[in-house]
Amino acid sequence: MDDNDLPTGDNIREDREAAELRGFGPLGILAILVILSGNFLFSPLSAVLVLVWVRLSRTPWGEIGFVRPDSWVRTAAIGLVFGIALKFLTKMIVMPLLGAPPINPAYHYIAGNRAALPGVILAMILIAGFGEETVYRGYMFERLGKLFGSGLGARTFTVILTAGLFAAAHYSVQGLAGSEQAAITGFVFGTTFALTGRIWMVMFAHAAYDLAAAAMIYWNLESDVAHLIFK
């Protein structure tokens, strides 16, 4: 070992700061609060802050699910089919059983609105697919996993808790029906992530789910789909 291999004061300080960011002391809690507050400024700032935290805390990318898939094409294809199928299932069966209205008033402005489509599509991909999954699945699962462990009970609690938080985050814009739908998708996506530990397919599925919803609204198909089974 030569002198260049010995830890310097800067390296020791950076190692200590990284460990504190990964922990739940004052710096670690401050990091959590800053990250979770990011979206109050603009979305998807919280997801960007998660990536910064991963880098500064030296957390392995795999711990938030950023694992390179064996095949991007297969992962994307599975995610797209999964997300679209889930959207039709919730719209045709689950939400009608919960008594939800067939039309989503919060986003009905999209109907026939070609000018709104570019912004809507970008939001579905960046804010929903990438941003929400990075925070609610990748980051929260890592943090809660460090707190409660990786056993079946702990992972079940994490899935339920994050689905509840995901639902609550949708209430102010979409009301009760939107929160119910978010709870369902949060539970499905959370369970998928808990079982696989990989986030890319879930990101594709989430984006596809929201894009399918936007397509139904744009072409005024919401009511038709909602009444396919329950007239």
In this structure, the answer to whether residues 84 and 5 fall within a common structural domain is: no
Given a contact cutoff of 8 angstroms between Cβ atoms, the answer to whether 168 and 179 are in contact is yes
Residue 48 covered by a domain: yes
> Identity (one letter) of the amino acid at 73?
V
Q: How far is CA 64 from CA 24, 75, 209, 226, in A?
A: 17, 17, 21, 35
In this structure, the answer to whether residues 74 and 33 fall within a common structural domain is: no
In this structure, the answer to whether residues 32 and 108 fall within a common structural domain is: no
In this structure, the answer to whether residues 116 and 220 fall within a common structural domain is: yes
Chain segment 116-166, per-residue pLDDT in tens: 999 999 999 999 999 999 999 999 999 999 999 989 999 999 999 999 999
Chain segment 163-191, per-residue pLDDT in tens: 999 999 999 999 999 999 999 999 999 99
In this structure, the answer to whether residues 52 and 86 fall within a common structural domain is: no
Tokens of residue 141, six digits: 């699962």
Given a contact cutoff of 8 angstroms between Cβ atoms, the answer to whether 187 and 202 are in contact is no
Q: Domain residues for 140?
A: 69-226
Predicted model pTM: 0.92
Tokens of residue 75, six digits: 């992962």
In this structure, the answer to whether residues 55 and 138 fall within a common structural domain is: no
Tokens of residue 26, six digits: 């004052």
In this structure, the answer to whether residues 22 and 88 fall within a common structural domain is: no
Given a contact cutoff of 8 angstroms between Cβ atoms, the answer to whether 181 and 95 are in contact is yes
> Identity (one letter) of the amino acid at 211?
L
In this structure, the answer to whether residues 95 and 170 fall within a common structural domain is: yes
What's the number of domains the chain is made of?
2
Residue 111: is its pLDDT beyond 70? yes
Given a contact cutoff of 8 angstroms between Cβ atoms, the answer to whether 185 and 90 are in contact is yes
Q: Tell me: cis bond preceding 60? Omega within 30 of 0 counts.
A: no
In this structure, the answer to whether residues 48 and 86 fall within a common structural domain is: no
Q: Tell me: cis bond preceding 102? Omega within 30 of 0 counts.
A: no
In this structure, the answer to whether residues 116 and 190 fall within a common structural domain is: yes
Residue 64 covered by a domain: no
CA separation for the pair 178, 188 (Å, rounded): 15
In this structure, the answer to whether residues 133 and 204 fall within a common structural domain is: yes
Closest by CA to 46, choosing from 120, 125, 140, is: 140
| pLDDT confidence band for 10 (50 / 70 / 90) | low
pLDDT for 11: 76
Helix 171-196 × helix 140-148 angle, to 10°: 60
In this structure, the answer to whether residues 54 and 94 fall within a common structural domain is: no
